A and B are shown apart, each in its own frame.
Chain A
């Protein structure tokens, strides 16, 4: 009676066939009758008052639809956490690339020239471009103190510890902005008619974020705004918030023109104008005993939020909670702050603040090891969190995680000890310096603290006329495997076959709000809800007498068909309820920060070439405990893809800014890893299970972004004996450091003739 297990097997990707045949429909593949093309006129300056807008000669402006802030029916804002970000700048601009005007025309080739022909006179105001300038408060560019949000996490008696510490280790670490660089640029189509209201189709992660933003902007009731997700060509957080802006622009043009309007960004506009990973600065001060035990720490974690609040408070929260990593801190004080500058707003990117604060911590652990005189392995082993101990927020580790064992396995897979010894020997004679680096870390799955309770996500499962089941969620597929894994869960829950289950296209008129597709929450949180909604269908069928307790998939389908024929439909909903015993204090930032943590140890092997100053990663071991692996191929794909982005974050991806404008907004000069650049990325799983997740799953998507950068920079320090504290680390940075290096060993084999 029981069908073969589906969870834990690598069934074909639900929408995979459409993707390998080219049939999958992305927003730019969609054409509506009489459709216009839209374009955005943006600020060229970082901050100032708009004095005059001139529509230049040589263009027949009568052919164009032109939207200004005066055309906004509701509130001129992109509603998110706070309504501070305008949809169109009205009188004042606060960052380069800020949208000011919108144009639409039937011929998309005419738009770039028209945008060029509009000249805007500004009265410039002084602008600030980094955290340090923001903190001086010489220019107040947001609120009263340039501060979007602060958090304070406190545990134990930090101030009492400094006196008795054997060592106090202090250092500062920084990370740069990083572009998500999904290969499909952002795009939206909007259509409006007064009877049905507004519909937008687009490349996006969070349909209901857009729904909320459009209601407020367009002053429309909920049932007059419809948001539909098209196939989405990568997102990584980069399509969490900015799609609301593009949808808003397309909507305004569609409402004014009465015609459908498509806005597709080109690569340069997408890179320059949309969000990136927050630049960060982390200061560590750590009290350590002479045997290498952490006694206490102070961590100051600051991120640059750009000109508007957007999601910065949430990014800051995750970064702050992860700042203590996978270690036990008897006492700690974490101060976190998101500051305003006149940069385009920074936003969500896989990891969401954690890759920044964990980079600092995992570099700092190597530094502590040096000060104490222990190895990078031993310093970690002595300080790992153990079951029963508490995290920085006071959350007790309840699962039986053994990080020491995880570390041992990773060391074995990477042949760490033998290689480290061999490299130390070989490096003396070679201009190719090799090194090994470790990062051990954790990543919380799902929304932080009370976030899931506030969201109260709802999912549905329904049977359709042919007797198959259809999942109704607003959780989106953008490559991670949402469609596939949710269908696996429902099939498994009911003893059906994978092909008995499908998933609805996310459409706010069709699916309930299962929350945003972010925070590694989909499989764990939404998956669990989908599982219980599925069980509801079975209960109804059995209660109706149409299905017996024991059934074959065919019998189940027949019962669904019979029920639908008789009653019209059968639908089961499930809503999130906070599990018992979960406590979180939003004021004091204490308690159960996450329902589950995934744990990992990553090891990088690198070669630094003293002739070219370039670094290659030669081997990469990624070992993690992510609860139960529901789909081995997809899970492995998530890890490898995340590691690849982490390697880019560490070694390649540098945004060049000038007065707040991105100067290298092309794939030609913003460099992401190619197939020729990456090492073998070897993925290993431990599976402990998780009582809160569907079939024991935890979140997985963001975890692999956290470890690669510190592991690689630690390995570079092992190779070169130079401590780098800032990423991205490019060959020119290594050249400068080597040139200035005081360590004669490091310079001994440098080709001095080149210097």
Chain B
């Protein structure tokens, strides 16, 4: 009676989430998004469209930016995952998080975790991106509130302050 994808027996996967090792029993085709939210209680990762278009569920897998709604749990086996909950250290905001606060990069906040992770990923690749590179780097993450300009400012400010280092 279940959806076919979830009929298969659960399997064990081991992964590191925000630096913490986890071993979980999950359906192999369960979405990584659901594993993070429901199994690990990491609800900072958001669902916006469920089809990989909006980027709200963006997380890093082994340093790659992915839409976690499109990743089956099994694919995350052995991987190191970073979610929004993994960016601040000891209650201190990561520079990007602070810049999003300062510049008005977060309004309703629903796209913000994904947007910050996409920005984080961008700055890892290009520590001092041009405006065009920021536009391109964030084009997989939709925001309906801000019109993006203040997000660009936030990324530029974080880059200036050395967020990538």
Contacts and interface: CB of A to CB of B under 8 A. Distances in A.
Q: Which of A15, A112, A641, A642 has the most CB of B within 10 A?
A: A641
B102 to A, nearest CB: 8
A681 B151 CA distance: 13
B2 A109 contact: yes
Contacts of A478: 108
A235 to B, nearest CB: 8
Contacts of A676: 135-136, 139
Query: Can you list the 3 inter-chain pairs with the closest CB atoms, starting with the nearest?
Result: A22-B44, A233-B110, A479-B108
Interface residues of B, number: 58
A22 to B, nearest CB: 2
A184 B108 contact: yes
Contacts of A673: 147
B40 interface: no
Contacts of B113: 22
Main SS class of interface, A: loop
B101 A13 contact: yes
A299 B125 CA distance: 56
A456 interface: no
Interface string B7-35: 00000000000000000000000000000
25 contacts: A13-B106, A17-B93, A18-B109, A20-B93, A20-B101, A22-B45, A28-B43, A60-B1, A109-B3, A109-B6, A113-B1, A113-B3, A183-B143, A184-B48, A184-B110, A233-B46, A233-B111, A234-B107, A267-B50, A479-B109, A633-B150, A640-B150, A674-B139, A676-B135, A678-B148
A480 B51 CA distance: 27
B142 A479 contact: no
A457 to B, nearest CB: 23
Interface stretch (A249-257, A446-454, A664-672): A664-672
Contacts of B152: 675
A157 B6 CA distance: 71
Nearest to A647: B147
A549 interface: no
B148 A644 contact: yes
A303 to B, nearest CB: 23
Contacts of A182: 108, 110, 144
Contacts of A642: 147
Nearest to A478: B108
Interface size class of A (residues with CB under 8 A): 35 or more
A16 B140 CA distance: 23
A680 B135 CA distance: 11
B54 interface: yes
Nearest to B91: A21
A641 B142 CA distance: 12
Interface string A634-667: 1011001111110000000000000000000011
Interface in B39-81: 42-51, 53-54, 56
Nearest to B30: A109
A15 B108 CA distance: 10
Interface of A: 10, 12-13, 15-26, 28-29, 58-60, 107, 109-110, 112-113, 180-185, 231-236, 266-267, 478-481, 633-634, 636-637, 640-645, 666-668, 672-676, 678, 680-681
Given A15-B109, A640-B146, A672-B144, A666 B100 contact: no
Contacts of A666: 49, 51, 53
Contacts of A644: 146-148
B84 to A, nearest CB: 4
Interface in B102-122: 102-104, 106-113, 116
B157 interface: no
Contact of B44 (A23, A266, A667): A23
Contacts of B49: 267, 666-667
Nearest to A179: B144
A236 to B, nearest CB: 7
Contact of B150 (A18, A481, A637): A637
Contacts of A60: 1
A479 B1 contact: no
Contacts of B144: 180-183, 234, 236, 641, 645, 672
A479 B145 contact: yes
A15 B54 CA distance: 23
A239 B80 CA distance: 37
Nearest to B27: A109
Nearest to B47: A28
B1 A640 contact: no
Given A23-B44, A183-B48, A231-B109, A672 B88 contact: no
Contact of B104 (A59, A233, A636): A636
A132 B150 CA distance: 43
Interface string B123-136: 00000000000111
